[in-house]
Amino acid sequence: MDLNLLNDVLDSFDQAVAQWSVALHPVALSLFWGLATIEWAWTWLRLMISQRAGLDVVFETYLRKATYLAFLLLLIQKSDSLLPLIIASFQRAGGTASGITALHPSAFVNTGVTVALDLLSSLDAAGFLTDPLGVAVAILGSLMTLLAFFLMAASVMVTLIESFVVIGATYILLGFGASRWTYQLAEGALSGVLRIGVKLMLTYLVAGVIANLTTVWARQLLEQSPIGPLQLYTFLGASTACAALLWAIPRLASQLVPPGIHFGLKPVVFDN
């Protein structure tokens, strides 16, 4: 059975990122030039009323301010290739360590559906479906199996979609780095890119282990004849715990990469 609906959702977001880049880059550049103009005006006003504003101070301020704004402009212009590259580097690191080339949420759904159907078939062969209590056990076990694997797929999909959304938002937020009053938005956006990169890496690491474990557990469960309620619900409990781990552990990225991290995007540091 091939259920690629969740993969299609990810492909749609992946294609949307390219459209966001085209639409948001002109907005980011307009925002940059507007805030840069205000920043220059404020800087020169302070220099004019400063008693220490000699030629050397004026030249140094101009050089440093121009260098900073030129770097920021280059960062905005290259963000459509630079930001995905940063996130992809974390993905490759996690994939190399876990042995996964790419995360596909639909793979977890396919596994869950296959295991649930095999469970029903095995329980039917063992005669469970001839008894009302057995029918209840079989249906509940199959539904819980689907739920556990759907939660794994949802966790992976949320993390992947979050990476696309963060990239799209960062395109325009970088423009705020041109002003001393709004540069925190740009630094926060870059922190978000780094955080989602670490989160993706952790997701790859955890997903690799969990995918292998649940596959082995499902095979061992289906090889037992007959399957008893104890074995069935032990498998379900372990699968649910793995789903919780796959959801919780990548969230540690918010602790590994604190939101207050600085990237030097602070125009005011160049004023005397």
Task: Give percent of the chain with pLDDT exceeding 90.
Answer: 11
Average pLDDT score, the chain: 82
Does 215 have pLDDT greater than 90? no
Domain contains 210: yes
The rounded distance, in Å, linking the Cα atoms of 95 and 138 is: 36
| In-domain check, residue 2 | no
Q: Is the dihedral of CA 50, 52, 58, 63 positive or negative?
A: negative
> pLDDT for 132-185, tens place per residue?
766 776 777 778 888 888 888 888 888 889 989 999 889 899 999 998 888 888
Which residue is listed with tokens 């062969």?
125
CA 109/CA 176 separation, integer angstroms: 41
Tell me how many degrees the CA angle 74-76-78 measures, rounded to the nearest 5.
65
In angstroms, the CA 56 to CA 134 distance is: 88
Confidence of residue 272 (pLDDT cuts 50, 70, 90): very low
Return the higher-pLDDT residue of 113 and 75: 75
Report the number of distinct structural domains present in the chain. Answer: 1
Model confidence pLDDT, tens digit, residues 11-47: 888 888 888 888 888 999 999 999 999 988 888 888 7
Question: Which tokens in the block code for residue 54?
Answer: 């000699």
Answer whether residue 108 is part of any domain.
Answer: yes
Closest by Cα among 201, 17, 220 to 122 = 220
The larger pLDDT score, comparing residue 53 to residue 193, is at 193
In a domain, 196, yes or no: yes
Give the list of residues 6+ apart from residue 98 with CB closer than 8 angstroms, or none: 204, 205, 207, 208, 209
Instruction: Provide the pLDDT confidence category of residue 1 given band limits of 50, 70 and 90.
Output: very low
pTM metric for this prediction: 0.81
Pair 28, 76: CB distance under 8 Å: yes
Q: Is residue 232 part of a domain?
A: yes
What are the start-end ranges of the H helices in 99-228? 105-125, 132-173, 183-223
Q: Are 34 and 182 in contact (CB under 8 A)?
A: no
The two tokens of residue 207 are: 């997903």
Boundaries of domain holding 44: 20-270
Q: Is 263 helix (H, G, I), strand (E, B) or coil?
A: coil
Asked if the model's pLDDT at residue 56 lies above 90, the reply is: no
CA distances from residue 132 to 127, 128, 136, 234 in whole angstroms, order as listed: 11, 8, 6, 21
Q: Is 174 domain-assigned?
A: yes
Q: Is residue 100, in this structure, part of any structural domain at all?
A: yes
How far is Cα 64 from Cα 128, in angstroms, rounded to an integer? 77
Residue 246 resides in a domain: yes
